[in-house]
Amino acid sequence: MGYLDGFKVTFKQIFEPRVTNEYPDEKRPKPARFHGRHVLNRYEDGMEKCIGCELCAGVCPARCIYVRGADNPPDAPVSPGERYGFVYEINYLRCIHCDLCVEACPTEAITESKLFEFSFTNRQDAIYTRDELLVDDDGMPQKLPWEDWREGDEVNTSAWVRATAPSGDAGFEGKVAWSGELGRGVRPPEQGQTADSPADRPSKKVARKRRSHG
Partner 1 sequence: MGDPLYVDGVDFAVVLIVLLKVIVVFVFLLVAVMLMVWFERKVISDMQNRIGPNRAGPWGILQTLADGTKLFFKEDLLPDNADRVVFRLAPYLSILPAFASFAIVPIGGTISIAGHQTFLQLADPPIGVLFLLAMSSIAVYGVMLAGWSSGSKYPLLGSVRASAQMVSYEAAMALAVAAAVLSAGSLSTHDIVAAQDSLFRWNIFSLGVVPFVVFLIAATAEANRPPFDLVEAEQELVGGFHTEYSSIRFALFFLAEFMNTVTISAMVVTLFLGGPNGPAIGFLPTLWPIVWFFLKLVVFLFVYVWLRATLPRFRYDQLMDLGWKKLIPISLFWLLLVAALRIGRIEGWNVILVLAGGVAVGALGWWALGAALALGQMDDADLSDESLREVEA
Binding site for partner 1 (CB under 8 A): 6-7, 9-11, 13-14, 16-20, 22
Is the separation of the CB atoms in 113 and 153 below 8 Å? yes
Choice between 27 and 204, CB closer to partner 1: 27
In whole angstroms, the minimum distance from the beta carbon of 22 to partner 1 comes to 7
In whole angstroms, the minimum distance from the beta carbon of 25 to partner 1 comes to 10
Choice between 10 and 212, CB closer to partner 1: 10
In whole angstroms, the minimum distance from the beta carbon of 114 to partner 1 comes to 26
Tell which residue, 201, 166, 168, has the closest CA to residue 180: 166
In whole angstroms, the minimum distance from the beta carbon of 13 to partner 1 comes to 5
Choice between 22 and 131, CB closer to partner 1: 22
In whole angstroms, the minimum distance from the beta carbon of 207 to partner 1 comes to 36
Phi and psi at 163, nearest 5°, equal: -65, -30
Choice between 17 and 73, CB closer to partner 1: 17
Choice between 1 and 9, CB closer to partner 1: 9
